[in-house]
Structure 1
């Protein structure tokens, strides 16, 4: 068990996936009004999801 105040490796991957989901929600919310911002958020979501996959695999 990890000492108090530390974050496990699995938790970091889960937090990255949660961040990707949050960003995808931002894409959905901004798509009709500000397409450029939605694209930027989508790219950030892809990076976060890719980092989560790489974190779990690596």
Structure 2
């Protein structure tokens, strides 16, 4: 359940990253949101994997 929730959060963060790029935000803010999205995906995968 938590793994699926992390994937949902990652989806929102990826969408936010795309919107930041479209709006011309600084590379730092785009990078921060992108790294958070990657961490959410990694956490979701780690939570779902057995063991």
Scaled by the length of structure 2, what TM-score is found? 0.84
Match of 1:13 in 2: 3
User: What is the alpha-carbon distance in structure 2 between the residues aligned to residue 41 and residue 24 of structure 1?
Assistant: 8
Scaled by the length of structure 1, what TM-score is found? 0.75
Question: 1:42 pairs with 34, 45, 48, which one?
Answer: 34
Structure 2: give runs of 5+ residues left out of the alignment.
Answer: none
Structure 1: give runs of 5+ residues left out of the alignment.
Answer: 1-10
Which protein is richer in helix relative to its size?
2
For CA contacts below 8 A with separation 6 or more, give which structure has more relative contact order.
2
| Aligned residue pair count | 48
Radius of gyration: which is bigger? Answer: 1
| RMSD, matched Cα | 1.0
4+ residue runs over 2 A deviation: 32-35
